[in-house]
Structure 1
Amino acid sequence: MDAGIIALLLFGSLLVLLFLGVPIAFGMGGISLIFGFIFWGGLPSFEAFSLGAYGKVTEFVLSAVPLYLLMAAILQYSDLADDMYEAVYRWFGGLRGGLAVGTTLISSIFAAMVGIATVATATLGLTARPSMLSRGYDDKLTTGTIIAGGALGILIPPSIIMIIYASEAAVSPGAMFMGGIVPGILAAVIFIGYVLIKCGINPEMGPAIRKDERFSLGEKLESIKSIFLPLFVIVLVLGSIYTGAATPTEAAAVGVVGALISAAIKKKLTKENIKKIFAMSVRVNAMVFWILISAVAYSRIVSVTGVGSWFADFVTSFEVNAWVTLIAMQLVFFVLGMFIDPAAIILMTGPLFLPVVTQLGFDPVWYGVIFVINMCMAYMTPPFGFNLFVMRGIASDLNINTIYRSVWPFVGLYALVIVICMFFPQLVLWLPNLMIK
């Protein structure tokens, strides 16, 4: 059968299952098994899928995933955000929009510790949002700031999504981590600039706290101690990678130790918290690895049927500028991100798009970081952005329409970061190249 027809049947049936509500892991895996039986030798294809899945999930680089998720769970239940928010409240509360600025800074710090997008959203939704609303902040600005800041968790390293991409694209996870630092900082700075301009034009959206509520210099300096533990974890993880003391995979174990030390100092390693930590780790790990297992079968089908090479040849046969093709890919990712988990998008599109990227001559690390920025938007774009549901779950007073409206300005700001990184690729590649040297 022609590879083009197989591609249409393969992707068409997968999209039908997704719209019917079938979980991505089981939809992708089930279709792959059916197509494998038909196009790849019947029952023996099942054994090939099993061996491939075993080989994939036992890759050394992927052992970092459960460790970083464990680190994220420990930090979530360590209440580090409470103390950090008190610090930003004391330092930035006197500015118009200052609490929103501080919330973005905390989100960036959390992003540099946890590797996933939901921890900062959940934590700051519970701590920062009530404080900001009680001081007259606009609810949409507050909600959008928290959700967008939380999405930085997959851009500022460490990042679970970057590890999965690195495994799929056969690039260095360390290069991906270093490539995400400058764009992550750039995104945070753009968010802060947007908030300050917005509140400067319309002070009612983010009023400064009253003068009689402001803190003395001594009280501000005292609050700085709250950032020591987060910085301790960040320096442990990124420092061990950059100095070569540990690989990005080994640095995950270093981060777990740092998180445990932080939790112990905060006296949060209680029996109840330990149960919650392990429950969160097991639940999220199960989801990620089921997707990985199903993606192995899917990738094999794309490869053995010739769909991958056919698609690469098909795309590159158009006489259009390579940048037009790249932008078209980003639009596809954006649309998929409205409905599908980012990890699944990597594994679903990787066998098709990565050969195209190679043929067009783009750097796979640069392309990967741009993809991750796009996936930051996926966590916050309606109707199924995961951070939207996290916020809805912890803020029962918010209706979903308000949440949807709150994120669009920040979606536009993330798109601006993508454009800047396309025009100035060294923003992504400078640190990875420096690390290699």
Structure 2
Amino acid sequence: MFDKILVANRGEVALRIMRAARELGVKTVAVYSTADKDTLPVRYADEAVCIGPAPAGKSYLNMANIIAAATTTGCQAVHPGYGFLAENSDFARACADNDLVFIGPAPECIDRMGDKAAARETMTMCGVPTVPGSDGVVESVDDAREFAERVGYPVLIKASAGGGGKGMREVHAPEELADAFMAAKAEAKAAFANDDVYIEKLVLRPRHVEIQVLADDFGHQIALCERDCSIQRRHQKLLEEAPSPALDETLRRNMAVAAVKAVRAVDYRNAGTIEFLLDNDGKFYFMEMNTRVQVEHPVTEQITGIDIIKEQLRIASGEPMSCADEAPFVPNGHAIEFRINAEDPENGFRPCPGAITRFDVPGGPGVRVEAYVQAGSVISPFYDSMVAKLIVWGRDRDEALARGRRALSEFNIEGIATTIPFHQAVLENEIFQRGEAHTDFIEVTGL
């Protein structure tokens, strides 16, 4: 196991990684921008290094400063968390070039699965179901029109690089295609410095179901059950639960088998997630792979008892994962994660940075809160708006829903607007209560 690692991130995920490392006896180094100098992760770490001013491009995306911080403090490895440089193959290579272990997959895997067109081709070759789509990048509007006419509308134009819903446009009629194609390319270029796009047949009213995977250097590749991430706005997840209400044992097993097949096809190592679309007929299709730990990993931890961050550290340090003999996993109870963001759901989820004047977290059995703030903390306009994650567990879904209602009612945050009222409304919605929410849930319900 490592002696010391650098956490190349901020906020709740930085603190989450540091806590797991401390339990394994690993010292941690925090990096921070000038805007984050007084945050909890900076105080919690064994050491802390300022890497630049507030803008992320000058701090959390500054590879040279992060590498320098790791080498000068004597770290052996770097954990990227999620976001920022987590899926940047150049950063993974820079770590290796400076004798630092990147706690994640090899840069070749990041490249292969990060290019969505290449990932689709890889999955098709290894027998994982994929949505009918273009053969690689679509170069022109004419090519896009030819594909759309062949498979039939609606279609989905998607950026080959990046994620988070950027560079993505739905097209429901021929007259919409040209404008949508050019808009997707422009947005992809601005977000990822790469305007390549490809096109898929649009699966109507799907569910978003993903499989958490782990793989080590000792021939172990396992699936840690699924998560349902169908509650999302503009392709950004807002609430996740595990297991999915839509899966029976047969479908769960089949999706897990497909996920492990995908992992083996790219010789993957460490933690990752295979994301699928699930249609109303029970057919599932590969969507993408996230080559990192995800925001919603706690719901999987709650139903499996596995600490995914610790497993990442074990795998990266050259040890076998500790949970391989426990596979295949059967979900134990039900967990729901609520992303508590500094956003105003009454006004189009407008970001609401500012000072928190009160921060009372819920407690009791089956309640887990991951946060990096307290009363007096300031939510910066420079970064993601997440304030905390509330995770609840119950022996079954009904108990998890009841516990979620109770915990949300006890979560008192003042000084900024948050998404807590939105989550409370979701729990009272009959469609969600029945476990029938699709990715268009917000649009259909008007929440």
Same fold? TM cut 0.5: no
Larger RCO: 1 or 2 (CA < 8 Å, sep 6+): 1
Which of the pair is proportionally richer in helix?
Answer: 1
**Bigger radius of gyration among the two:** 1
Which of the pair is proportionally richer in strand?
Answer: 2
